[in-house]
Amino acid sequence: MTRLPLMSALLTSVALAACGAPAPDRSPEVASAPATAPLPTAVGATGPLSRQSIDTAVWQAGPVVTGTTPRSNPQTPTAPGATGTAEATTPPRPEIVRAQILLDRARFSPGAIDGLGGENTRQAVAAFAEAHDIASDGSLNAEIFARLIQDGGPALTEYAITTEDVAGPFLTSLPTDLKAQADLPALSYTSAAEGLAETFHVTEALLTALNPGVDFSRAGQRIIVPALSDQPLPADVTRIVINKDESSLRAFNAEGDLLAFYPATIGSTRRPAPTGRLTVVGVAPEPNYTYDPQRVSYDRGDRRLVVAAGPNNPVGSVWIDLSRDTYGIHGTPDPSKIAKTASNGCVRLTNWSAEQLAAAVKPGVEVIFS
């Protein structure tokens, strides 16, 4: 994943009224487990999710919202890092996998690519259609699909698992209790599969479906993954618009061109996100998370706690500090829940979206909540 330099505006440890406390310092070093021996074996999915079936998938009439739980805005938000709605159980569809990958590559993110569609995909399709002057209510249609694949190239590619991917260290499990998290030296991934899924913007379920029977902890294997773009945003972000009703974030350049669209978890009824205009203060990559009961309280006890950095940190892999004290835009340990649950006031993106955005912002960027 992208590693971001700190901005010149040094971020200090701040207790977040809604999210937690980022700090620019790194977590302690942890001894890595030895890598397994390479096993150079080519693999690929068979049946309905074969590489060929996805790369040649065509538009099929039907709703994009398929087999997923609806968005919700509960009165009591989930704490950063907590899970929300249940996972879908319907099988992924090749044409949806292809469309989601191509949307992601075009910087209209559907969130975690799952092959199921859902509200995040519908919003991404609608934003893509609007940007390309195509009539759409968010449903994928033949014209949108044709535009997506026009210059998209293959949706899938092969990737050789590296020793770095499998080296860890990995957590045996990720505790949900904040006190237990604070006892850990780092909030790492729980497995190589989780890290690979996040690297390629997919759910672990879809990664497994694309690579049946694969042991993701063995270096040297070649696996089938989305062919994503590794390019940064094409220009600096000068304005960010956060739409609470739509659960989305749009990034614009100085000319007003839309650079990227991301689904977002934005506050809750009890702890709403800010309103009006704020600005970016700075960026902290790999932040820690501080709960200070003297400044914040959402049933986490009366003891100050500091959770170390890591992709499963409650605020994810990067923190974008905003001009309203204790509020920011940040990542998440649970990308599949973005825009499907509520938060404690801040704006939560997938780690990869937050990193892409953070790499293109500077202090003073306007942030509009609508």
Q: Which residue has the higher pLDDT, 284 or 299?
A: 284
Mean pLDDT on 253-280: 88
Mean pLDDT across 210-230: 96
Band the pLDDT of 218: cuts 50, 70, 90.
very high
Mean pLDDT value across residues 105-113 = 97
Least confident span in 67-76, 190-199, 308-317, 344-353:
67-76
Give the per-residue pLDDT at 6. Answer: 41
HEC per residue, the chain: CCCCCCCCCCCCCCCCCCCCCCCCCCCCCCCCCCCCCCCCCECCCCHHHCHHHHHCCCCCCCCCECCCCCCCCCCCCCCCCCCCCCCCCCCCCHHHHHHHHHHHHCCECCCCECCCECHHHHHHHHHHHHHCCCCCCCCCCHHHHHHHHHCCCCCEEEEECCHHHHHCCCCCCCCCCHHHHHCCCCCCCCCHHHHHHHHCCECHHHHHHHCCCCCCCCCCCEEEEECCCCCCCCCCCCEEEEECCCCEEEEECCCCCEEEEEECEECCCCCCCCCEEEEEEEEEECCCEEECCCCCCCCCCCCCEEECCCCCCCCCCEEEEECCCCCEEECCCCHHHCCCCCCCCCEECCHHHHHHHHCCCCCCCEEEEC
Neighbours of 300 (CB within 10 A): 16
Nearest of 61, 124, 137, 125 to residue 93 by alpha carbon? 61
Confidence class for position 59, pLDDT limits 50, 70, 90? confident
Query: Residues of the chain with pLDDT > 70: what percent?
Result: 74
Class of the CATH-defined domain 239-369: mainly beta
Q: Which of 81-85, 226-230, 250-254, 299-303 has the lowest mean pLDDT?
A: 81-85
7 pLDDT tier (thresholds 50, 70, 90):
very low
Taking 70 as the threshold, does the pLDDT of residue 71 lie above it? no
Amino acid at residue number 170: F
pLDDT at residue 42 tops 80 = no
Q: Which residue has the tokens 């890092």?
A: 81
**Could you tell me the pLDDT band of residue 308, with boundaries at 50, 70 and 90?**
very high
Which pLDDT does position 292 carry in this prediction? Answer: 75
Q: What is the mean pLDDT of the chain?
A: 81
pLDDT given at position 227: 97
Q: Is the model's pLDDT at 344 over the cut of 90? A: no
pLDDT at 299 (0 to 100): 57
Over residues 131-138, mean pLDDT: 89
Tell me which of 116-130, 141-155, 181-195, 212-226 is least confident: 141-155
Least confident of 120-134, 259-273, 279-293: 259-273
Return the higher-pLDDT residue of 320 and 137. Answer: 320
H, E, C per residue of 337-354? HCCCCCCCCCEECCHHHH
The contacts found for 73-77 with CB under 8 angstroms, 24 or more apart, are 73/268, 73/269, 73/342, 74/268, 74/269, 74/341, 74/342, 75/268, 75/269, 75/270, 76/268, 76/270, 76/342, 77/267, 77/268, 77/270, 77/271, 77/298, 77/341, 77/342, 77/343, 77/344, 77/345
pLDDT of residue 75: 37
Residue 53 pLDDT exceeds 90: yes
pLDDT the model gives residue 300: 58
Which sequence spans correspond to the domains of the chain? 239-369
Average pLDDT over residues 262-291: 87
Pairwise CA distance, residues 72 & 74, whole Å: 6
Would you say the C-alpha torsion 357, 360, 364, 370 has a positive or negative sign? negative
The pLDDT assigned to 221 comes to 96
Average pLDDT over residues 85-99: 77
Separation of alpha carbons 341 and 18, rounded Å:
15
